[in-house]
Structure 1
């Protein structure tokens, strides 16, 4: 039996890396004819390296690419220009790694293709071409976001539209991937970012995605049926495979103190606040959140982290003493109902029966995890496509309540937003999430979608079938 090997090249941030590894695990577990090598890039400013879990199938291996410290001297460590240059500089490392792989192949193994993170596609497609194999893309966001990027690309390339005219406007756009018109205020800030390379990066990504052999999307048809259909109706787009939700169900690592505290809370009573691996707030905003939690009166678990230094692309750090940023006496006054933590074991928390609601930044992985575990969300997006995800959850799907849809933290510049989200707005969102008829109705819809998400991944489910179609396309290409 011939083995077809896929080379995965994930983007080296937690949300992209973990979901890429999860789909690699699904593929390797599903079909004995597949093997997978994951090439791991490393940012020069990060000290931690990814360590594969013990549950990784034998037919998946990891190869660390060299870390180029000289990048810090050659490029300013900010903006999308840095990220674009970083990926380009990995090309010789990828060539060397793949050449080494091929030299080790037996006669029964053949390189079948590259599976590229959406942000790696533009540079790494050229490497796939050099080896004479197809490039597939793994799109770590949802189908609606892919549809939006394709539409914006068409507006610019085919109709000469200057997208910057939408910045700070109240215009609503008809977009094929959405059943409702999309407010331009929820478009990713990168669409308007010509100075720091965001605009150019997205344009290049979309142009290359259209040339791939196929696009794996981390979504499921039952959630994004309208968007998936619009992509299939677009004949300029390669085959799309909705294969999600890709969630790391093995990652239930937790801290005993957190889980013990949750164990002591009543069933469905806790509001969980967590804003992703790179989510943080300045002191004024932290105080508004604290006042809201105190006034709302619900048991809360709050992941609070220190922002990175201005202008730095760094992961938020832990506070040695959260009291330094919280309102005076807050920890004492809320000792009976609340717990402030640093890093949060998000999957373990969301799966706990005490958790009733989730105040979230609406990163796509977090959105899918909240649906998987049946926990309704109050939306508070920060950057990237999170504003659009919030719009999807509130307006398109009716699966969330709104704290904000258009809040924006200029993540790459390290600048805070021009206005605060007030304690009143936060308190109102928490109460809508946790109390009353609206809360009950949304909870029922989320529970129903949770069932559909799990069914999609089982044998006979939509995502299970699409993954099988992708595997057959890969195997057909090498046989």
Structure 2
């Protein structure tokens, strides 16, 4: 095919880790169709995305080109563990700085437009203001990526419009939806509102990192919300993350030791505990979780790390999360557990047959990875879309239990609460039922990516649409 007849895809991610991760995985899926992909971001965030992506090497994909544009300097303050609001407001200076990509983005797509028949822009919802000038490029079209579940996206939109009449089942679910109180900072809400105003009338459709296997109802409901301003087209092409390991287990002595330990455990006997990249625990919470995990009587892997700073490569590592004296050595020597201090190979841990549960903050990446690998989740939401993702896991899918209810977020964490949640998930009749549902759903989702599966059909349809003659 003549170069001037080709389609290229320009990926524009938001810079929070959970957003970066999804669109770098989507880049791999689209590049597999022999389409050139241009990944547009700030230099340090592109480096972050490539460093942390699981189970494949971004440098091995010759048709993914990374564009690392400079942005203004910004403050790189550490997270505040004792903040009354869990939302990572210390990242806001970087969220503001990334908005300076508007001009270099336009220059890039203008240059590409002279070489390609069609420029397909896939942008994070939170980058709407960056891509709005695409209208000046006649052969460019834009698609919005929604980084949360279809369930969460629907309720956000419905609460704004309340025009769609809900059926009985959905009306009952509405009574279980957590409010947005405590989810976002005022500064971030201003950013959301600003991006929402830029988003109006610009999109040709919406992409979701989810699956019709378990969110068909809410994807259909979203069409009635006219989220993309007059078009009802959406594509559910998740999971974006690999469902089989694309290369061998992560290297390094710590990881070799970790998987040697996991290999020795009984199937479904280990609970994995991780609160993501934006959560900072207080010293008291760390002590109580540590005690609770020991008291539970179950084997565990616990990722103990400070929340990301805005630039993870700048300055020292910040506050070291302190565990009770001798704790790490004691649980390791007794074989009870493993404490990970660095970046954890989460997909590989969740895929391992010894992993039988996941205590999670319910960020959408973690939810999708847990769902994909068939692992039940003890939900512990902290901010943003996490409370509503937790509701999806527990109330709609039936693949999780509460570790800490969102409505009790202001109560002190107690070791007994942690131990009880672990026991419920790992050893109770309720936990067995949840695990069975999670395993069955995991099989269905993994099958959906195979030839003829519902995810593969959605992805094929999207590719056919953007490469149409």
**Secondary structure of the residue that 1:223 maps to in structure 2?**
helix
- The whole-number CA distance in structure 2 between the counterparts of 1:176 and 1:88 is 41
**Structure 2: segments with no counterpart, 5+ residues:** 77-87
Structure 1 position 98 matched with structure 2 position 109? yes
Shift of 1:147: 0.8
Question: Is 1:88 aligned to 2:61, yes or no?
Answer: no
**1:314-350 per-position Cα deviation (integer Å, ceiling 9, x unaligned):** 669869976xx22344345433112211122111111
Q: Distance in 2 between matches of 1:475 and 1:92?
A: 26
Superposed CA RMSD in Å reads 3.3
| Paired position in structure 2 for 1:434 | 426
Q: CA deviation at 1:385?
A: 0.5
Partner of 1:222: 213
Q: Which residue of 1 aligns with 2:174?
A: 181
Residues 15 and 95 in structure 2, CA contact (< 8 A), matched pair in contact too = no
CA distance 1:432–1:240, shift in 2 (3 Å): same
Question: How many residue pairs align between the two structures?
Answer: 435
1:371 aligns with 2:371: yes
Structure-2 change in CA distance of 1:5 and 1:399 (3 Å)? same
Give a deviation string over 1:275-305, Cα, whole Å, max 9, x none. 1123331100001101111111111111111
Residues 293 and 79 of structure 1: CA distance in aligned 2, closer, same or farther (over 3 Å): closer
- My pick for the range that moved more, 254-263 or 297-306, is 254-263
Match of 1:119 in 2: 126
Alignment of 1:255-294 (within 5 A): 255-294=255-294
Alignment correspondent of 2:337: 338
Unaligned stretches of 5+ in structure 1? Answer: 160-172, 409-416
Normalised TM-score (structure 2)? 0.83
How far 1:84 sits from its partner (Å)? Answer: 5.4
Q: Structure 1 residues 47, 240: CA separation in 2 closer, same or farther (over 3 Å shift)?
A: closer
Whether contact under 8 Å (2:113, 2:137) holds in the other structure is: no
**Residue 244 (structure 1) aligns with:** 238
Per the alignment, residue 467 of structure 1 pairs with 459
Q: CA deviation at 1:99?
A: 3.3
Alpha-carbon distance between aligned partners in 2 of 1:319 and 1:199, rounded to the nearest angstrom: 28
CA gap 1:269/1:232 in 2 versus in 1, 3 angstroms: same
* Separation (CA, whole Å) in 1 of partners of 2:201 and 2:214: 23
Q: CA deviation at 1:363?
A: 1.0
Higher helix fraction: Structure 1 or Structure 2?
A: 2
Contact 1:390/1:405 (<8 A) preserved: no
Distance 1:285 1:178, change over 3 A: farther
How far 1:406 sits from its partner (Å)? 0.9
The answer to whether structure 1 residue 198 and structure 2 residue 197 are counterparts is: no
Classify 1:390/1:258 alpha carbon distance in 2 versus 1 (closer, same or farther; 3 Å).
same
2:328 & 2:12 partners in 1: Cα distance? 44
Where 2:212 maps in the other structure, the secondary structure is coil
Question: Residue 89 of structure 1 aligns to a residue in which SS?
Answer: helix
Which residue matches 1:253?
Answer: 250
The one of the two structures with greater contact order (alpha-carbon pairs below 8 A, sep at least 6) is 2
Q: Is the 8 A contact 2:147 2:208 kept in 1?
A: yes
1:131 equivalent to 2:137? Answer yes
Q: Distance in 2 between matches of 1:402 and 1:250?
A: 33
Change (3 A) 1:124 1:236: same
| Contact 1:186/1:406 (8 A) holds in 2 | no
* Correspondent of 1:67 among 46, 55, 71: 71
Q: Tell me, what secondary structure is at the counterpart of 1:247?
A: coil
CA distance in 2, matches of 1:319, 1:72: 14
SS at match of 1:135: strand
Q: 1:67 to 1:199 in 2, by over 3 A?
A: closer
2:439 aligns with one of 447, 452, 462: 447
Supply the distance in 1 between the matched residues of 2:130 and 2:393 (Cα, whole angstroms). 33
Q: Match for 1:213 among 188, 197, 204?
A: 204
